[in-house]
Amino acid sequence: MNHRKAIYCMALAAIFFSTSGLLIKVISVPHLPLLGVRGAFAALTIALFMARPHLQSARRNPSNTPRPTQAKPRPRIPWSFPLLGGAISLVCAQAFFIIAVRETTAANAIFLQYTAPIFVAFFGIHYLRESVGKLDWLALAAVGAGLLCFYGDGMTAGGTIGNLFGLLAGLTFAWFLLFMRKQKDGSTIETVLLGNVLSALLGLPFLLGAAPSAADWLGMIFLGIFQIGLPSILIALAIKELTAVGAVLIQTLEPILNPVWVLLFIGEMPTPLALLGGAIVIGAVTFRSVLANRSRRLAAASQPTA
């Protein structure tokens, strides 16, 4: 995957992620069962993606006759500190965001979660040794100003517990991306698989007393497949080509897209200030991504050919 495709994959992941705010508010199932069911369907989606080479091999050899060259062994989890840290960070980010959305306003929860770029920029310098250039800092400042415009009207001082969990969601999501980037040459897909398996193991035992309705089941299945499973795969592929700061900046499209679903399904129109904030965020992310991609092309063209 080249840099441009990685940008597209990360942006598509943000679109999928953006469906969470509306559905988490609508689904009546408590925090942990919701986390568990969503994680289970996400893990199944990721496992099916990882099994593609074996499924393709079976289709090409339906009689299961022996071949001189055997298929590769099934994927295994190559344990490492970044892999385990990334999986745990993913579980925490998902759980903390669910709690935040339900314990404070959606604006507070989403805005506080997207303190993540600040954490990524700060910790990435020390943990990943990835420098943050002037363009990155300018984009971070613009995104912060845009988010403040976008969510400023809806933010409140109440919901202390929810606000705290929103901030923790931002911190843990930042570390999820940092741990994923640390494995840019390794096990990113295994990390998201393990993270969602852990979410399922943590939450499913609490499903017994939850009694979800048919609508709740549909919502949770959608969240598992489309809001967590598919974007997790896209991030696992894209993070190999993007810096941690570049990845998290593209992910800031998610909070801007959340109200789009509210507009489409509920008819709630954003304020003019919110629209200005959204335009600032989209412009900053697009401008930074285009310039970064152009710089990479120019750097590659300047390399001497063998």
Using CB atoms within 10 Å of the CB of residue 194, give its burial: 0 to 12 exposed, 13 to 18 middle, 19+ buried.
Answer: buried
> How far is residue 261's CA from residue 285's CA, in Å, rounded to a whole number?
20
Digitized pLDDT (tens) for each residue of the chain, 306 residues in all: 888 899 999 999 999 988 877 788 788 899 899 999 999 999 999 999 998 765 555 455 555 555 554 544 555 678 899 999 999 999 999 999 888 888 877 777 778 888 899 899 989 988 998 888 888 899 999 988 888 887 776 666 667 888 899 899 999 999 999 999 999 888 899 999 999 999 999 999 999 888 899 999 999 999 999 999 999 999 999 999 998 999 999 998 888 887 777 677 766 676 788 778 888 888 888 888 888 777 777 766 666 654
pLDDT per residue as tens digits for the range 168-196:
999 999 999 999 999 988 889 999 999 99
- What phi, psi does 172 have (nearest 5°)? -70, -35
235: which residues sit within 8 A by CB, 6+ positions away?
Answer: 9, 10, 13, 177, 180, 188, 192, 247
> Does residue 115 contact residue 170 with C-beta atoms inside 8 Å?
yes
68: which residues sit within 8 A by CB, 6+ positions away?
Answer: none
Nearest to 255 by CA among 98, 110, 116: 110
Taking the alpha carbons at both ends of the chain, their separation in whole angstroms is 23
Using CB atoms within 10 Å of the CB of residue 84, give its burial: 0 to 12 exposed, 13 to 18 middle, 19+ buried.
Answer: middle
> Does residue 210 contact residue 33 with C-beta atoms inside 8 Å?
yes
Nearest to 288 by CA among 253, 254, 258: 253
| E strand segments, the chain | none
> Does residue 130 contact residue 239 with C-beta atoms inside 8 Å?
no
- The answer to whether the pTM exceeds 0.95 is no
Nearest to 193 by CA among 24, 34, 78: 78
